[in-house]
């Protein structure tokens, strides 16, 4: 039996179909991180609301139906981005939790029966760049 889709407050970006789920409280930097990753070459999946579904042994992220291909940025408004497709979630990050350790412990987030590795936001600079390199390593060749 397939679980019903789950809508979450968050966003997602992708690299060649491998998705990064971005979660956190309002104002914690989810959209800022997504825009930085998109500027570095990641693809847009969703902003503000992300729809998760399970199937085929994987967790998938999509934008909500009818949502614009845009990222909401405080002080700017809606920033248009190239429309994206869904992605297989291979990694998650929490922007409302901070990580100060150089080598953080392995953490997993369970969503719709799938365990996804999750990182806590690290100190800038270089966090977004590190996430994109990791996403590339976790995705298809």
Q: Output the pLDDT for position 113.
A: 92
What are the start-end ranges of the H helices in the chain?
30-39, 127-138
Q: Quote the tokens at residue 68.
A: 């614009």
| pLDDT score of 125 more than 90 | no
Q: Output the pLDDT for position 1.
A: 46
In the chain, what percentage of residues exceed pLDDT 70?
97
Check residues 65 and 49 and name the one with the higher pLDDT: 49
Strand partners, 18: 15, 88
Pair 68, 94: CB distance under 8 Å: no
CA atoms within 13 A on the CB side of 95: 23
Average pLDDT, the chain: 92
| pLDDT score of 123 more than 80 | no
| pLDDT score of 2 more than 70 | no
Least confident window among 17-21, 31-35, 37-41, 53-57? 53-57
Domains and CATH numbers, the chain: 6-138 (3.40.50.300)
């Amino acid at each position: 039996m397939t679980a019903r889709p789950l809508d979450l407050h968050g966003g997602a970006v992708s690299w060649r179909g491998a998705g990064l789920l971005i979660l956190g409280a309002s104002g914690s930097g989810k959209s800022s991180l997504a825009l930085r990753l998109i500027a570095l070459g990641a693809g847009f999946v969703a902003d503000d609301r992300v729809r998760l579904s399970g199937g085929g042994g994987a967790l998938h992220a999509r934008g909500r139906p009818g949502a614009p291909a845009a990222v909401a940025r405080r002080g700017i408004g809606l920033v248009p981005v190239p429309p994206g497709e869904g992605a297989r979630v291979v990694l998650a990050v929490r922007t409302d939790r901070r990580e100060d350790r150089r080598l953080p412990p392995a953490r997993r987030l369970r969503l719709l029966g799938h365990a996804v590795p999750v990182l806590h936001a690290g100190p800038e600079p270089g966090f977004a760049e590190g996430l994109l390199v990791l996403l590339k390593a976790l995705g298809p060749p």
